[in-house]
Amino acid sequence: MFFEFGIKDVIDIFLVALMLYYIYRLMKESRSLNVFYGIIVFVLIWLFVSQVLEMKLLGSILSQLASVGVIGLIVLFKEEIRKFLYQLGAHQRVKSVMRFFSQRKDNGQDEDKETIMPIVWACMDMAKKKVGALIVIERATPLDDIVQTGEQIDARVNKLLIENIFFKNSPLHDGAMIVSKKRIKAAGCILPVSHNMDIPKELGLRHRAAMGISQDSDAIAVVVSEETGRISVAIKGQFHLRLSAEELESILAREMIG
């Protein structure tokens, strides 16, 4: 007799396929694709031995190996798992639901504007002088570990202060400046560098650091190129390149206020 195939089976197959697709993407980004293939081969062998051949002893051994292997994979790929969970929580629909339940004051937009405009003005002045800069704006994901790698400041966001931090003779100009809760928290901070091979070769280490922090958190990373004076923004692992003052202001307003 033919087995019954209903809507639940379709949903089950779809969810498994979706899960495998996301695991494949994570493995590919972390350059561990061979590990993914190995896991698939192991699972197929396990199912064939236990379900088709019904070998109880070998199936039991493989089941125990699978149980231990899951723990090992969690330890081995903890950063990838954390990134996956972050991407899940940062999904636009999830954020919309959370925003519905959260309360936000009406004057928050004005306060964000007071943070955005000094950054825009400072970036435009530094771009004209070809002064390199890397400004990271914290959002929902805390950047306390990044702040600890630099010199803590805790000052109001100010155009002149930003320009002084990234002045070429300043001891802090090579690192990143962290803006958190509408204040400059630290400067000279060290960021994780992205190893994404799709980043254009003409972009330097500042851009790779900006991409790295945007992949590891929901932070906004603003870069001023020392070589070209061009302004770029990295958000959610994506670059917005060659920005004008109006475009930079629009992106920051949309991401920080919207």
Domain boundaries defined on the chain: 7-89, 108-257
Q: What is the pLDDT of residues 37-57, one digit of tens each?
A: 777 788 888 878 877 787 888
> What's the pLDDT score for residue 40?
79
pTM as predicted: 0.65
- Report whether 115 contacts 179 (CB < 8 A): yes
Mean pLDDT of 83-87: 63
Rounded mean pLDDT of the chain?
Answer: 81
Q: What is the pLDDT of residues 96-121, one digit of tens each?
A: 555 555 554 444 555 577 889 999 99
Fold of 108-257: YojJ-like (1 (3.40.1700)
